[in-house]
């Protein structure tokens, strides 16, 4: 089962290493990680997507992450109302004949062309990972030259209470 | 006292100090009485300041010795053990000790030297990525990047090492940081928003446990080292007596409940007592106090406590539910939890049938071995040590057969007398750990019981024992083999003793004498009695080489993959 775990951490050297090391030691497979600054100085947000066998392992991951001194808050947001986004840059091969076809194709995805060359285009798309998968699938027949995906970043929607506001609340 | 005042005055003045002096002042402020270490290029600035500091430094003969000694000190005193090692090989030599401390939740603050900041990452002489190497085996670690941060880092390190679930904290100090000068301010609050251990247990969860106890027919307490870390041994006894609940110990928990108490069932697990293991199998309520359900305790999880409602009291929330599904999780300090349970004074369960059954098992299936004339049985040796020290000695061990025999036959009546490498199972642990234990309790009789294999991994520390004239009694349980390996090869590998037999051991008596130490050998019970009595009457270090019956195995035993109810070797 796929779980989306977000956490805020002190932005210190080695923090990512500590966390990924923890995953490696315990044999948890990370599907994606995204990291970036938050609104508070010195604090970063990480979003993990992990594939685990059951809820017990998901709980164990959250608890182990909680134990890290530089981790301020961990929340498994999978079951909340959340906004999930990923960004992808897709370089696709084009010919004069297919160029306009691709323009039409990407429009419903609200994707944008961010670079044009004689024989290729770079498409930028954001959305849920499934939407990006679908667009990549559609573009595949034209010849994918390069694909760069950021991995999932996610957020609980504003209208609901977060499932946990405090590390210690997770305990019971 | 005067020294402390001096520190306070200096601290109040916010003096400008170099990093090395900051470290020393911080150690004084933390009331550190002894540090264990080994100098080298990267820590020379620190050692230079240490020279006239008045801080008592023990120069072990290997960094592994230093960190195990610090562990021994911490395990006996309850205070953090402090270690200094140089960069590169010095730092990598402490890796085993760090892992050991991490597994057994031992508070350590370890300082490692690092090459100068300007050359970090250039593969400089004696450079190792210590932070990278030690991250998974420390509770937390730091590398000092700015000397201004050093006091804050040390303060945090001591706080982290000693609070919540204790553990080792490492501070990597580049050489230039030890020399650089800054204002020293140690009077600061520790502010770690990401680290707020829960010590007060949830009241509702306690109530749930009280309710469960009142309805239980076959309750049992499994008490681990958490009881000792929390100094909760008195509360454990009080609670067990109040509710009439029998108590089982894990290996590391021994001493937390008096071994001669009628409610004590012995140690659980692979070489635990039949009664303890069957109690775990048959109980209907299992109250785990500060144990982490290690696989050596549980055996095959599929058969572990299959009839029980499990309650688990632990200061580390990640331990609850990690290995065994838990119905009543209680996060908090063991002492706090037990105090609340005692205060609740819930309805005492009706356990008369249960106690009757347990006593029957105790009578029917006691620990046993066969005595043979002219042969020194290792179990008998441990019994004699127990007898001649009134069960009050501080005992340190390595890992293996001798460790299990001590756990079985040395009946610990008091807490903080038992120093062993439980989680990691470290050969070579017992001898250096005894150094730390003796320094922590100079008045105690310290007996270091080691195997002939493990002893040879850290025997260079004999030099320290002799130099400091520590009256440690070193007991080598010499069976000319790596005993536990040999036992497993006998049972599980058709007696194919691949590299486990060592018939040509050195003459340990002459070896000890080379270090200037008194030493004796015994090969029979009578000789053993004589040399033990003589050694224990001597106020100096003595090494005793006991040639025990080489084919003796540790029984009873739960084979790997088996449930606790499937013990072998419980009857003749």
Q: Which residues of A touch B193 (CB under 8 A)?
A: 72
Q: How far apart are CA A28 and CA A34, in angstroms?
A: 17
Give the per-residue pLDDT at A27: 86
Report, as an integer, the average pLDDT of B297-314.
97
Residue B554 is encoded by which pair of tokens?
A: 């540790």
pLDDT in tens, A154-168: 989 987 654 444 443
Please list, in sequence order, all residues whose beta carbon lies within 8 angstroms of the beta carbon of residue B51, skipping any fewer than 6 positions away: none
pLDDT at B429 over 60: yes
Give the per-residue pLDDT at B10: 55
Report, as an integer, the average pLDDT of B236-245.
98
pLDDT at B41 over 80: yes
B125 is catalytic: yes
Percent with pLDDT over 90 in chain A: 79
Give the per-residue pLDDT at A28: 86
pLDDT in tens, B442-479: 999 999 999 999 999 999 999 999 999 999 999 999 99
Give the per-residue pLDDT at B397: 98
Q: Alpha carbon B328 to chain centroid distance?
A: 28
Give the per-residue pLDDT at B187: 84
Give the per-residue pLDDT at B4: 52
Give the per-residue pLDDT at A144: 97
Instruction: Return the DSSP state at B557.
Output: B
Report, as an integer, the average pLDDT of B235-256.
98
B242 is catalytic: no
Mean pLDDT estimate for chain A: 90
Chain A contact for B117 (CB, 8 A cutoff): no
Give the per-residue pLDDT at B514: 98
For B321, which of A9, A56, A69 is closest by C-beta distance?
A56
B183 is catalytic: no
ipTM of the complex: 0.89
Residue B405 is encoded by which pair of tokens?
A: 């025999």
Residue B11 is encoded by which pair of tokens?
A: 């601290």
pLDDT at A149 over 80: yes
Give the per-residue pLDDT at B344: 96
Report, as an integer, the average pLDDT of B247-259.
98
Task: Give the number of A-B residue pairs with CB atoms closer than 8 Å.
Answer: 57
Q: How far apart are CA B447 and CA B348, in angstroms?
A: 40
pLDDT at B235 over 60: yes
Chain A window 87-116: which residues touch B at a Cβ cutoff of 8 Å? Answer: none
B273 to B308, B383, B397, B556, B569: CA distances (angstroms)? 19, 16, 20, 7, 11
Beta-strand relationship, B16-18 and B34-37:
unpaired
For B196, which of A63, A70, A168 is closest by C-beta distance?
A168
CB B108 within 8 A of CB B168: yes
Give the per-residue pLDDT at B9: 60
Instruction: Return the DSSP state at A90.
Output: E
Please provide the size of chain A in residues: 172
Give the per-residue pLDDT at B524: 96
Chain B contact for A83 (CB, 8 A cutoff): no
B489 is catalytic: no
Band (B12; pLDDT cuts 50, 70, 90): low
pLDDT at B252 over 50: yes
Q: Which residues of B touch A25 (CB under 8 A)?
A: 136
Residue B119 is encoded by which pair of tokens?
A: 């050359």
Chain A contact for B190 (CB, 8 A cutoff): no
Closest listed residue to residue B279, CA positions, set B264, B290, B294: B264
pTM above 0.90, yes or no: yes
Asked if B143 and A68 come within 8 Å (Cβ–Cβ), the reply is: no
Band (B11; pLDDT cuts 50, 70, 90): low
Minimum mean pLDDT among A162-166, B151-155, B182-186: which range? A162-166
pLDDT at B162 over 70: yes
Beta strands in B318-421 (DSSP E): 328-331, 394-397, 418-419
Report, as an integer, the average pLDDT of B373-385.
96
User: Domains in chain B, start-ordered, CATH in brackets?
Assistant: 16-184 (3.40.50.970), 203-364 (3.40.50.1220), 378-547 (3.40.50.970)
Chain A contact for B140 (CB, 8 A cutoff): yes
The alpha carbon of residue A3 is apart from the nearest alpha carbon of chain B, in Å, by 18
Kindly state the helix (H) or strand (E) to which residue B207 belongs, with its residue range: helix B203-215
- CA B369, B373, B375, B379 dihedral sign is positive
For residue B92, the SS3 value is helix
Give the per-residue pLDDT at B90: 98
CA angle A120–A122–A125, rounded 5-degree value: 150
Q: Which residues of B touch A10 (CB under 8 A)?
A: 194
Percent with pLDDT over 70 in chain B: 98
pLDDT in tens, B401-415: 999 999 999 999 999
pLDDT in tens, A72-104: 999 999 999 999 999 999 999 999 999 999 999
B184 is catalytic: no
Please list, in sequence order, all residues whose beta carbon lies within 8 angstroms of the beta carbon of residue B458, skipping any fewer than 6 positions away: B62, B64, B65, B68, B428, B429, B431, B432
Q: How far apart are CA B410 and CA B393, in angstroms?
A: 10
Give the per-residue pLDDT at B257: 98
Band (B571; pLDDT cuts 50, 70, 90): confident
Closest listed residue to residue B44, CA positions, set B210, B134, B176: B176
Mean pLDDT estimate for chain B: 96
């Amino acid at each position: 089962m796929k779980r989306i775990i977000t956490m805020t951490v002190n932005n210190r050297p080695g923090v990512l290493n500590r966390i990924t090391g923890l995953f490696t030691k315990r044999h948890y497979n990370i599907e994606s990680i995204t990291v970036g600054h938050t609104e508070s100085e010195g604090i970063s947000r990480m979003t993990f997507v992990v594939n685990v066998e059951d809820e017990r392992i998901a709980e164990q991951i959250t608890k182990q992450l909680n134990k890290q001194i530089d981790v301020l808050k961990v929340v498994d947001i999978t079951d909340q109302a959340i906004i999930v986004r990923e960004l992808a840059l897709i370089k696709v091969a084009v010919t004069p004949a297919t160029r306009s076809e691709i323009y039409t194709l990407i429009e419903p995805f609200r994707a944008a062309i961010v670079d044009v060359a004689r024989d290729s285009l770079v498409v930028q798309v954001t959305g849920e990972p499934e939407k990006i998968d679908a667009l990549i699938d559609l573009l595949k027949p034209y010849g994918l030259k390069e694909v760069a995906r950021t991995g999932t970043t996610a957020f609980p929607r504003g209208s609901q209470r977060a499932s946990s506001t405090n590390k210690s609340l997770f305990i019971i | 006292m005067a020294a402390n005042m001096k520190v306070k005055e200096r601290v109040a003045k916010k003096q400008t100090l170099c990093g090395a002096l900051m470290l020393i002042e911080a150690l004084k402020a933390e009331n550190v009485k002894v540090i264990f270490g080994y100098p080298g290029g990267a820590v020379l600035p620190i050692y230079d300041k240490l020279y006239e500091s008045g801080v008592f430094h023990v120069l072990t003969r290997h960094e592994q010795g230093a960190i195990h000694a610090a562990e021994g000190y911490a395990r006996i005193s309850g205070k953090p053990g402090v270690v200094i090692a140089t960069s590169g090989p010095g730092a990598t030599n402490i890796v085993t000790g760090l892992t050991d401390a991490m597994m057994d939740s031992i508070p350590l603050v370890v300082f490692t030297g690092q090459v100068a900041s300007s050359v970090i990452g250039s593969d400089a002489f004696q450079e190792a990525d210590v932070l990278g190497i030690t991250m998974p085996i420390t509770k937390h670690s730091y590398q000092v990047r700015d000397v201004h941060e050093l006091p804050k880092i040390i303060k945090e390190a001591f706080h982290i090492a000693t609070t919540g679930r204790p553990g080792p904290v490492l501070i990597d100090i580049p050489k230039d940081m030890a020399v650089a000068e800054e204002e020293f301010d140690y009077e600061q609050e520790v502010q770690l928003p990401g680290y707020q251990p829960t010590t007060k247990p949830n009241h509702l969860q306690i109530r749930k446990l009280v309710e469960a106890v009142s309805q239980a027919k076959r309750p049992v307490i499994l008490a681990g080292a958490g009881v000792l870390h929390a100094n909760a041994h008195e509360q454990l006894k009080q609670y067990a007596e109040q509710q009439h609940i029998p108590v089982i110990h894990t290996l590391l928990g021994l001493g937390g409940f008096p071994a001669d108490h009628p409610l004590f069932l012995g140690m659980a697990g692979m070489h635990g007592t039949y009664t303890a293991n069957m109690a775990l199998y048959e109980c209907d309520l299992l109250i785990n106090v500060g144990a982490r359900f290690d696989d050596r305790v549980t055996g095959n999880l599929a058969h572990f406590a299959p009839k029980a409602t499990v309650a688990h009291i632990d200061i580390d929330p990640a331990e609850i539910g990690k290995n065994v599904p838990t119905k009543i999780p209680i996060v908090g300090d063991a002492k706090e939890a037990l105090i609340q349970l005692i205060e609740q004074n819930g309805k005492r369960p009706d356990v008369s049938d249960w106690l009757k059954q347990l006593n029957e098992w105790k009578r029917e299936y006691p620990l046993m071995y066969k005595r043979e004339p002219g042969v020194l049985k290792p179990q008998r040796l441990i019994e004699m040590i127990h007898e001649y020290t009134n069960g009050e000695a501080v005992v340190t061990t390595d890992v293996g057969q001798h460790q299990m025999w001590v756990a079985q036959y040395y009946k610990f009546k008091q807490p903080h007398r038992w120093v062993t490498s439980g989680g990691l199972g470290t050969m070579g642990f017992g001898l250096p750990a005894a150094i730390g234990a003796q320094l922590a309790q100079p008045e105690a009789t310290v007996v270091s019981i080691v195997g002939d294999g493990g002893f040879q991994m850290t025997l260079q520390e004999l030099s320290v024992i002799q130099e400091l004239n520590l009256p440690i009694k070193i007991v080598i349980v010499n069976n000319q083999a790596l005993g536990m390996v040999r036992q497993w090869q006998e049972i599980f590998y058709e007696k194919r003793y691949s590299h486990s037999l060592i018939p040509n051991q050195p003459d340990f008596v002459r070896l000890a004498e080379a270090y200037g130490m008194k030493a004796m050998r015994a090969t029979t019970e009578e000789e053993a009695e004589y040399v033990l009595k003589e050694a224990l009457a001597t106020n100096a270090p003595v090494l005793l080489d006991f040639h025990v019956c080489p084919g003796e195995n540790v029984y009873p035993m739960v084979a790997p993959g088996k449930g606790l109810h499937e013990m072998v070797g419980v009857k003749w």
